[in-house]
Amino acid sequence: GEDVEQSLFLSVREGDSSVINCTYTDSSSTYLYWYKQEPGAGLQLLTYIFSNMDMKQDQRLTVLLNKKDKHLSLRIADTQTGDSAIYFCAEIRGANNLFFGTGTRLTVIP
Amino acid sequence: GEEVAQTPKHLVRGEGQKAKLYCAPIKGHSYVFWYQQVLKNEFKFLISFQNENVFDETGMPKERFSAKCLPNSPCSLEIQATKLEDSAVYFCASSHDREPNYGYTFGSGTRLTVV
């Protein structure tokens, strides 16, 4: 289908790891992205991964890419209350336009 | 500046009125994108510009919506004769390069409410 799919909600306890999953559609996407949106704010780029990579680590964030299954995941280690937000994966389509997933609302329980 | 500035933050219009939203991209960024975020967080691509030229307008509704990026002026998105379903948050983003290796920088959005 045309949708970039994500689970709508995820709740974790503070200090645990969070894993947010995404299934994308365009196998020719060169870059895949994770954005964070806090309430009332715009989108903040968290990290990106090039399509020839399987994994990318950036401090508490780990991105895993399975090109065969078109599956992308974002792991947040030692999740903090400040990580509560909506997380969007995104792929490039058409004339280099970002196409966003449905968003996952992460709630961190103190 | 180093942020994408969108004005106004909030806009309320009666059905049938015109709405005009503004976006000042980061200086030196040649690409500007407009997105519409509706209920359930869905982001819909509307239009992109390379400098003052339309780059991709495949997401723009054929009627009522128009956009411009003129030299030395903020970019604008205009909705003629607003409808209730136009209520959304409209985000602008800018990018230095066509290849968004580092992603786009987004503004904080303009919340349009049509009553």
All residues of chain A having their beta carbon less than 8 Å from the beta carbon of residue B40 are 102
The tens digit of pLDDT for each residue in B22-70 reads 999 999 898 999 999 987 678 888 999 999 999 889 889 989 999 999 9
Decide which of B44 and A11 is more confident: A11
Q: Which residue of A has its CA nearest to B91?
A: A42
Query: Average per-residue pLDDT in chain B?
Result: 91
By the CB < 8 Å criterion, does B15 face chain A? no
pLDDT score recorded for residue A15: 97
The tens digit of pLDDT for each residue in A49-86 reads 988 899 999 999 999 999 999 999 999 999 999 999 99
By the CB < 8 Å criterion, does B56 face chain A? yes
d(CA A86, CA A21): 13
By the CB < 8 Å criterion, does A49 face chain B? no
Strands (E), chain B: 5-7, 10-13, 19-24, 31-37, 43-50, 53-56, 65-68, 75-79, 88-95, 105-106, 110-114
